[in-house]
């Protein structure tokens, strides 16, 4: 096994460690100390479970009660109906409040398992073992859990922190290239909103990252998690600064909802959303044109879409953007860039400037 890096998400009594290292998935010593008892329910999906479930179960040989729930893979299954499959197993098998849920999968599995843990008997323990780049750098860290509704993404959920996060870069070797690109959107986001040195590093190393250089991937995961952990520690419940982590997401969620969950991967929608947000930042007199181009170029280098879908016009996107958790009293709250490496939150009451900027961007192509 390669060297393991460990750091703590500092949230007082809700603090927890993040472990990052190749081969961690097979190492029980990082997992078992965080179990509340020898009673465990693993939640995975039908893509990940055939590859990694047995390896995880081997780490849990001391468990006296071990059950598994296998969900269907895909954003379109992240809903209340499928959430009930977890509750069904918990209740049928008569799990008590000492159960620990383990999420083995990507962001959908992690979000649903965390939400189930937050709700079951008013709160039980859970552990995140993310198996996609997107979940390793973003959704597994920070305690956001939930499911989608037909009218809006992640509109039903809870803030609920895990006992620990175990991120093994080696599991990314079985990740399709499209999923790797999708995860890279969140990595790029951290550089764009608050870490210009990281953004510069990503520009220099993106070709090797996309070829899955394990050492560089581990560094990208660690730096991304540290960036997120710093923001979450300052604003756990997103009452202020944490909203900057949604850079590109207001536009991206509109794309996901408008196209139908699963048509675009979350990271693909965020990639295009960041490019739109960068262009809107320029239109509002904030970001410099060359920095817009740098964001678009880096997203392209990561294999991400940089334009919204052709059949989703700006008016429809704006309509969908009005159903966003950041909005206050009907006013659109946008995360934009004042400069590369510095995000700002802008309350946008006059939407015509925004609408025109979105139309203009859709009509352009950055080379």
Q: Alpha helix locations (H) across 236-322?
A: 249-259, 266-283, 289-301, 314-321
Query: Any long-range contacts for 216-221 (C-beta under 8 Å, 24+ apart)?
Result: 217/133, 217/169, 217/172, 218/2, 218/5, 218/20, 218/21, 218/22, 218/169, 220/137, 220/187, 221/20, 221/133, 221/136, 221/137, 221/167, 221/169
Closest listed residue to residue 251, CA positions, set 333, 182, 187, 329: 333
Two tokens, residue 272: 């295009």
Q: Is 99 exposed, middle or buried (0-12, 13-18, 19+ CB in 10 A)?
A: buried
Phi, psi of 262 (to 5 degrees): 100, -20
Three-class SS of residue 271?
Answer: helix
DSSP β-ladder status, 332-339 and 165-167: unpaired
| Bridge partners, residue 18, by sequence | 7, 165
Distance of CA 151 to the CA centre of its chain: 20
Catalytic residues: 122, 144, 186, 228, 238, 242, 246, 249, 253, 266
């Amino acid at each position: 096994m390669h060297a393991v890096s460990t750091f703590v998400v500092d949230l007082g009594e809700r603090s927890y460690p993040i472990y990052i290292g190749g081969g961690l998935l097979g190492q029980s010593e990082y997992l078992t100390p965080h179990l509340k008892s020898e009673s465990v329910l693993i939640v995975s999906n039908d893509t990940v479970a055939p590859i990694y479930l047995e390896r995880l179960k081997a780490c849990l040989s001391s468990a006296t009660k071990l059950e598994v729930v296998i969900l269907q893979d895909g954003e379109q299954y992240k809903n209340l109906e499928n959430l009930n499959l977890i509750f069904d197993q918990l209740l049928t098998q008569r799990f008590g409040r000492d159960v620990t849920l383990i999420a083995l999968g990507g962001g959908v599995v992690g979000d649903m398992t965390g939400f189930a843990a937050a709700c079951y008997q008013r709160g039980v323990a859970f552990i995140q073992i993310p198996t996609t780049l997107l979940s390793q750098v973003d959704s597994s860290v920070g305690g956001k859990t939930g499911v989608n509704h037909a009218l809006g993404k992640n509109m039903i959920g809870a803030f609920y922190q895990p006992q620990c996060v175990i991120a093994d870069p080696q599991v990314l070797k079985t990740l399709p290239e499209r999923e790797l690109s999708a995860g890279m959107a969140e990595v790029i986001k951290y550089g764009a909103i608050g870490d210009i040195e990281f953004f510069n590093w990503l520009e220099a190393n993106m070709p090797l990252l996309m070829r899955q250089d394990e050492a560089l991937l581990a560094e990208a995961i660690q730096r991304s998690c540290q960036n997120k952990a710093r923001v979450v520690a300052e604003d756990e419940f997103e009452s202020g600064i944490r909203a900057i982590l949604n850079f590109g997401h207001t536009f991206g969620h509109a794309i996901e909802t408008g196209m139908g969950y699963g048509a675009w991967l979350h990271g693909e929608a965020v990639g295009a959303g960041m490019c739109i947000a960068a262009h809107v930042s320029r239109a509002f007199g904030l970001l410099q044109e060359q920095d817009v181009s740098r964001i678009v170029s880096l997203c392209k280098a990561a294999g991400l879409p940089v334009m919204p879908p052709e059949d989703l016009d700006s008016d429809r996107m704006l309509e969908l953007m009005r159903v966003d958790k950041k909005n206050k009293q009907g006013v659109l709250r946008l995360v934009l860039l004042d400069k590369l490496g510095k995000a700002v939150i802008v309350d946008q009451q006059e939407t015509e400037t925004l609408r025109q900027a979105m139309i203009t961007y859709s009509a352009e192509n950055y080379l």
